[in-house]
Structure 1
Amino acid sequence: MHLLKLSDMEKLFYIPPCLEADAKDWFFDNYHFVLSWSLFVQKLLDTFESSSKADITFNRLRQYQQSLHQDVRQY
């Protein structure tokens, strides 16, 4: 149900007052990449979707080892 009929530009205008802490910092650091409402939602979910996702990625990086035939630039 849509109570308000806002354009993408209006929605983007009202984002900052609705965000807190890390999300607000992230928005101000990346606002120039957020050109539409759908892009904002996508990027926000990609960034803050799950802390366990970040933990899994960090553990993969921590356990990653350079292979025998891999030069340092590929590592």
Structure 2
Amino acid sequence: MRIGFYFAPGYGYYQVPRNYWGQRYYEGQYLPSIFWRYQLNDWRTYGLGYPPEGTRWVLVDNHIYLIDAYDGY
């Protein structure tokens, strides 16, 4: 564990601004754009379904979120 960093498979460790450390996001909340790039392409490994058109699975800290690919909601 590295303080101030998250880990994403295929990307490695990435630095996260302090105001985002440990923050959880819930349905209907905006996911900041700094996390959009950590797309989860091996969703089957995690037991997830195919993301509907216009959405993507992203991994933030140890949480997986389904977000709109265009605006992050």
Please tell me the TM-score bracket, short chain as reference.
Answer: under 0.3
**Which structure carries more strand by proportion?**
2
Structure 1 or 2, whichever has the larger Rg, is 1
- TM-score scaled by length of structure 1: 0.26
